[in-house]
Chain A
């Protein structure tokens, strides 16, 4: 959706010939194109927002939100969890894995 609008706006004044060859998605940092391709929401740490101080290994429902389908711990850059909380979260997930509350990564189910 956003791609279509950005493609149309420069083509109207400059003429279509120049733009038609290059794909708009291929050059996001092109001249005069400051608009982002899509709107990225600012991620916030769930534990800071909800004021969860204690990340308990027994709370597998909470922890399972932060493990991927494969059983891996979701990295901070994807989940948006802040560093101190990610540290505790990782620890809690690892304890929970040991007592079979959460799966290990790579173990086939």
Chain B
């Protein structure tokens, strides 16, 4: 079962770029070993924390978007817990929400297209709409 997760974690602010690079690459290999895929790795940079975590008032945020089975998340979270520079992490499942949004978007698009065909009087507007629709469809087809 392939699911999409967002894995966000905070590392201590005094961590060097090389160390951070090393940490992200080990996590990435871990994902690929477990038959998952890393979609994006984003370093969101240093940010002031909303509250003190341990002894830290700021931290470097890193965001992973990964696709894989649920067991993969267990393994990654275990690793993050063990990793000494990581001060906080969270995993959020995003595919369900994404599915819902796609559904809404689909409904909205079809409604817009339907309105275009019904309005016979506004032929020009319909033509313009068809054009814009045609511009959108190649991506789907």
Partner of A54, one of B47, B63, B101: B101
Q: Is the interface of A mostly helix, strand, loop or mixed?
A: loop
Given contacts A53-B104, A54-B97, A58-B8, contact A98 B51 (CB under 8 A): no
The number of residues on chain A lying at the interface, defined by a beta carbon within 8 Å of a beta carbon of chain B, is 15
CA of A98 to CA of B59, assembled, Å: 14
B54-73 contact mask (Cβ, 8 Å, vs A): 1 or 0: 00000100010000000000
Given contacts A53-B101, A95-B90, contact A100 B10 (CB under 8 A): yes
Q: What's the interface size class on B, roughly?
A: 10 to 19
A107 pairs with B51, CB closer than 8 A: yes
Closest to A88 in B: B97
Given contacts A99-B8, A100-B10, A107-B51, contact A57 B101 (CB under 8 A): no
Partner of A101, one of B50, B97, B104, B105: B50
Closest to A57 in B: B92
A77-109 contact mask (Cβ, 8 Å, vs B): 1 or 0: 000000000000000000101111111100101
Within 8 Å of chain A (Cβ to Cβ): is B49?
yes
Given contacts A53-B104, A57-B92, contact A100 B50 (CB under 8 A): yes
Q: Which 7 A-B pairs have the closest CB atoms?
A: A100-B49, A103-B50, A99-B90, A107-B51, A100-B50, A102-B50, A53-B101
What are 23 A-B residue pairs whose CB atoms fall within 8 Å in the complex? A53-B101, A54-B97, A54-B101, A57-B92, A58-B63, A95-B90, A95-B92, A97-B50, A98-B90, A99-B8, A99-B88, A99-B89, A100-B49, A100-B50, A100-B51, A100-B59, A100-B88, A101-B47, A102-B50, A103-B50, A103-B51, A104-B50, A107-B51
Q: Mark A residues whose CB is within 8 Å of B.
A: 53-54, 57-58, 95, 97-104, 107, 109
Q: Mark B residues whose CB is within 8 Å of A.
A: 8, 10, 47, 49-51, 53, 59, 63, 88-90, 92, 97, 101, 104-105
